[in-house]
A and B are shown apart, each in its own frame.
Chain A
């Protein structure tokens, strides 16, 4: 456990000045800020509609791309960057000749990547709420303050986090095995496009395919939107759907499998 904590701290120390770490912080900030500027200039779209509907438009603008491309690509990039730092500096050999269990080093790296994905999604929640409330302060006709979307937004992003774990394990392993960026990136990109297609054509087995999970999560939100009245849609988030269970199972299996591959692999 001590080895794990030391390695985890070291991962932070090593990456704290790299794009790998800062992209997890800057990406949500940048996207939310752009969204804020866009809606600030076109605030008449949101003016005088119920708070809940205004939030759906505001947060939905991010969520729409989140499921299809943003989240999977972010995972591809994070998984790549935590492993590339060792490939680039040829430091695998010195890492694995330290008096620390290989399991600790491997799992600390994985959990650090997991932490970065979590951090990024948590910041999306935070910045969406922050910029939304800021907008209704500046433009009182936008009624964000009339509805509290916090709980719903946290649920959605938490489900997206769980939906991303299967992809993360696969991409983490690919980035660990391949030195270059193109292989994990190319595989991840093609797999993501396939995932979006599977999810969008409602393929019955799409829930078994990890790269479809973020898209399925977003689609699930739309499906649960049952029109009760003429104007007020309802969104409920059912977190542990079967696609999420598959995502978790894939994450655990690939994570453990990856460790045995690392053990077998000779260190260059």
Chain B
């Protein structure tokens, strides 16, 4: 495990914002840390970076205890927390040069990073004049500058346009698949990380509600059989009479929980034999977005 926490808790005054969190982030994963705004995501990230002092529990990163190995651990992490921390009176390039100076990274790396995040043209423009998306990309360049093994990104696609989001997503996938990095990325939108995450943790009101691989998450969403036919309401009643559970009926189709492919064929035959015209029949997974809402709202 690259990140592993046990019983991690944190209070702001009387309010407990992180409750006994046990994060397990495997090496080489893109871990999507999901939760609505105010769920405790940023606080957790600040704890992981030792910006906040851990009240209870332990944090191990690269199998080392964070409290006693702060500097060796931080030297392998690149991070971006909330709005990117950028000196607005310096140019984009100067921001990177300053960081390179602190981290003792050769200046050549600065230009590579500018190229990577497509800021070469705007390198000498003051960062204060950057658009939100450019600032975000500069923030990502700063996080990547020292070629860290672990990237911790807090809402990195905030303020990016759809193209920017796709670019960041592709960049992160490339980093993990080609450069063997591990990415820990927080977001309040499942759709945003769904397409790249290998693992997911869902946090709500400081508590972890779900943690596992994206496949596990898909598995707990029960697949449905969706039948598109001519008279949906009648067909729904007919299916109920035959002992089937109908989960949804609308003008277009009827939904029934999926059990097996054989059963799916049987339903098709049954409907056809009783003069219903079946236009289509297919297995669908529950929308992850909907699942995410279910998980966070039922808690």
A253 interface residue (CB < 8 Å to B): no
Do A7 and B102 have beta carbons less than 8 Å apart? yes
| A6-B51 contact in complex given A94-B79, A94-B85, A97-B74, C-beta closer than 8 Å | no
Interface string of B74-115 (1 = CB under 8 A from A): 110101011101111110001001100111100000000000
Do A17 and B89 have beta carbons less than 8 Å apart? yes
Do A14 and B90 have beta carbons less than 8 Å apart? yes
B71, B87, B88: which contacts A99 (Cβ < 8 A)? B71
| A98-B103 contact in complex given A10-B98, A13-B97, A85-B87, C-beta closer than 8 Å | yes
Per the bound structure, the CA–CA distance linking A100 and B72 in Å amounts to: 9
**Which residues from A are CB-within-8-Å of B94?**
13
A-B contact pairs, 14 of them (CB 8 A): A10-B102, A13-B94, A13-B97, A13-B98, A17-B89, A85-B89, A90-B83, A93-B81, A94-B81, A95-B85, A97-B81, A100-B102, A101-B71, A267-B51
**Which residues from A are CB-within-8-Å of B83?**
90
Do B51 and A266 have beta carbons less than 8 Å apart? yes
**Which residues from A are CB-within-8-Å of B90?**
14, 17
B53 interface residue (CB < 8 Å to A): yes
Per the bound structure, the CA–CA distance linking A96 and B79 in Å amounts to: 11
Per the bound structure, the CA–CA distance linking A14 and B95 in Å amounts to: 8
CB interface residues, B 95-138, toward A, < 8 Å: 97-98, 101-104
Per the bound structure, the CA–CA distance linking A85 and B86 in Å amounts to: 10
Do A267 and B52 have beta carbons less than 8 Å apart? yes
Which 10 pairs between the two chains have the least Cβ-Cβ distance?
A: A99-B75, A94-B85, A99-B74, A91-B85, A267-B51, A97-B49, A99-B71, A89-B87, A266-B52, A10-B102
**Which residues from B are CB-within-8-Å of A101?**
71
Minimal beta-carbon separation of A131 from chain B (angstroms): 32
Do B102 and A91 have beta carbons less than 8 Å apart? no
| A100-B101 contact in complex given A89-B87, A267-B52, C-beta closer than 8 Å | no
**Which residues from A are CB-within-8-Å of B142?**
94
In the complex, which range does the number of interface residues on chain B fall in? 20 to 34
CB interface residues, A 20-61, toward B, < 8 Å: none
A88 interface residue (CB < 8 Å to B): yes
**Which residues from A are CB-within-8-Å of B74?**
97-99
| A6-B104 contact in complex given A14-B90, A17-B89, A93-B51, C-beta closer than 8 Å | yes
**Which residues from B are CB-within-8-Å of A10?**
98, 101-102
| A267-B46 contact in complex given A93-B81, A94-B81, A96-B51, C-beta closer than 8 Å | yes
Per the bound structure, the CA–CA distance linking A94 and B72 in Å amounts to: 16
Besides A6-B102, A90-B82, A92-B85, 11 new A-B residue pairs in contact (Cβ under 8 A), listed by A number = A6-B104, A10-B101, A13-B101, A93-B46, A97-B51, A98-B102, A99-B71, A99-B73, A266-B46, A266-B52, A267-B46
Per the bound structure, the CA–CA distance linking A96 and B46 in Å amounts to: 11
B37 interface residue (CB < 8 Å to A): no
Minimal beta-carbon separation of A95 from chain B (angstroms): 8
A93, A96, A99: which contacts B72 (Cβ < 8 A)? A99
Do A97 and B79 have beta carbons less than 8 Å apart? yes
Per the bound structure, the CA–CA distance linking A98 and B234 in Å amounts to: 65
B50 interface residue (CB < 8 Å to A): yes
Minimal beta-carbon separation of A147 from chain B (angstroms): 45
A9 interface residue (CB < 8 Å to B): yes
Q: Which residues of B are at the interface with A, using a C-beta cutoff of 8 A? A: 46, 49-53, 71-75, 77, 79, 81-83, 85-90, 94, 97-98, 101-104, 142
Per the bound structure, the CA–CA distance linking A99 and B49 in Å amounts to: 10
B53, B77, B101: which contacts A97 (Cβ < 8 A)? B77
**Which residues from B are CB-within-8-Å of A92?**
85
A18 interface residue (CB < 8 Å to B): yes
**Which residues from A are CB-within-8-Å of B71?**
99-101
**Which residues from A are CB-within-8-Å of B101?**
6, 9-10, 13
**Which residues from B are CB-within-8-Å of A18?**
89
Interface string of A76-91 (1 = CB under 8 A from B): 0000000001001111
Most buried by B among A88, A92, A94: A94
Per the bound structure, the CA–CA distance linking A169 and B74 in Å amounts to: 29
B50, B86, B102: which contacts A89 (Cβ < 8 A)? B86
**Which residues from B are CB-within-8-Å of A94?**
79, 81, 85, 142
Per the bound structure, the CA–CA distance linking A264 and B73 in Å amounts to: 21
Minimal beta-carbon separation of B89 from chain A (angstroms): 6
Per the bound structure, the CA–CA distance linking A14 and B49 in Å amounts to: 24
Minimal beta-carbon separation of B53 from chain A (angstroms): 7
**Which residues from B are CB-within-8-Å of A90?**
82-83, 85
Per the bound structure, the CA–CA distance linking A33 and B75 in Å amounts to: 49
A14, A266, A267: which contacts B87 (Cβ < 8 A)? A14
B76, closest chain A residue (CB): A99
| A91-B81 contact in complex given A98-B102, A98-B103, C-beta closer than 8 Å | no
Minimal beta-carbon separation of A81 from chain B (angstroms): 11
Do B85 and A99 have beta carbons less than 8 Å apart? no
**Which residues from A are CB-within-8-Å of B51?**
93, 96-97, 266-267
Per the bound structure, the CA–CA distance linking A99 and B82 in Å amounts to: 20
Do B53 and A99 have beta carbons less than 8 Å apart? no
